[in-house]
Amino acid sequence: MEFLRIVSGKIRRGASIKERLRNIGDMFIVLGGIAESLRHLSQKKIDVIFCKGGYVSLPVVIAGRILRKEIILHESDTKPGLSNKICAKFSTTIFTGFSGVFP
């Protein structure tokens, strides 16, 4: 198994000016992560993406959606985080540890 690093930005939900400015900067970092993920997924000829969640998985899932890859999402918590809520919209299969986590 090989581990490949990508850049990723975090989405902050705070209302302060500082957090909003950091979110704007992180949007560009996420775009870079999507570009890196597109390159890695194409070069390695990946067919299936297994996503466990967290802000690092978001660029990979978006790139997988662009390349029309199968995306499997696993949410082990009772309440999904923001990135898993976004990733769920792009996933082909969702596994959960509890019932009723996603509608």
Domain ranges for the chain: 17-96
Number of residues in the chain: 103
For 90-100, how does the pLDDT look when each residue is reduced to its tens digit (9 = 90+)? Answer: 999 999 989 88
- Calculate the alpha carbon distances from 21 to 15, 27, 30, 39 in Å: 10, 10, 14, 28
- Calculate the alpha carbon distances from 100 to 61, 72, 83, 97, 103 in Å: 22, 17, 18, 10, 6
Instruction: Identify any residues that bridge with 51 across adjacent strands, giving them in sequence order.
Output: 73
pTM of the predicted model as reported, rounded to 2 decimal places: 0.87
Report the C-alpha gap between 33 and 5 in whole angstroms.
9
- Calculate the alpha carbon distances from 82 to 39, 46, 56, 102 in Å: 25, 25, 12, 12
CATH C-level class of 17-96: alpha beta
For 13-69, how does the pLDDT look when each residue is reduced to its tens digit (9 = 90+)? Answer: 888 888 889 989 999 999 999 999 999 999 999 999 999 988 889 999 999 999 999
